[in-house]
Amino acid sequence: MRFTLKITRDVIGNKIDLKILRSGSQLIAQVDTELDTFKLGSDRVSQSSVHFERHFRQAGEAGPGMEHTLVVTATDTDGNSEVATKIWLDES
C-alpha cells in the first residue's frame, strides 16, 4: 500500500491528512491511526476500497520542541497489515 501523511500545526494541536492507495490487487478493509500512543481513529471500510482518506483537525497537543509519532496501520481484506510511521519535532 502507498501512504501519504501530511501534518501541519493547527490553532490547537495538529492537522493530519492521510491518504492510502492500494498496491496491486489489495483492497483496504481497516485503517487505524494513532498519535503519540493515543488512538485517533479506527475506521472499518464498509465496502473494501482501493483508496482511503481521513482528515483530523486539532489532534493531540503541539508546542515548541514537542516530539510526535504518528502511526497508521492499514489492513487488507486478507488480514495483512502494513504500517506507516512519521516522527517530527514541533518548531518554535
Superfamily of domain 2-89: Immunoglobulins (2.60.40.10)
| Dihedrals phi, psi of 76, to nearest 5 degrees | -90, 180
Mean pLDDT of 79-91: 94
Q: What is the DSSP string of 50-76?
A: SEEEEEEEEES---TT-EEEEEEEEEE
Task: Summarize pLDDT for 34-78 with one digit per residue, the tens.
Answer: 999 999 999 999 888 999 999 999 999 988 889 999 999 999 999
Residue 59 burial (C-beta neighbours within 10 Å; 0-12, 13-18, 19+):
buried
pLDDT at 3: 95
Mean pLDDT of 70-92: 93
Global confidence as pTM: 0.90
Task: Summarize pLDDT for 10-45 with one digit per residue, the tens.
Answer: 888 999 999 999 988 889 999 999 999 999 999 999
Residue ranges per domain, the chain?
Answer: 2-89
Spatial CA neighbour of 68 closest among 33, 43, 42: 33
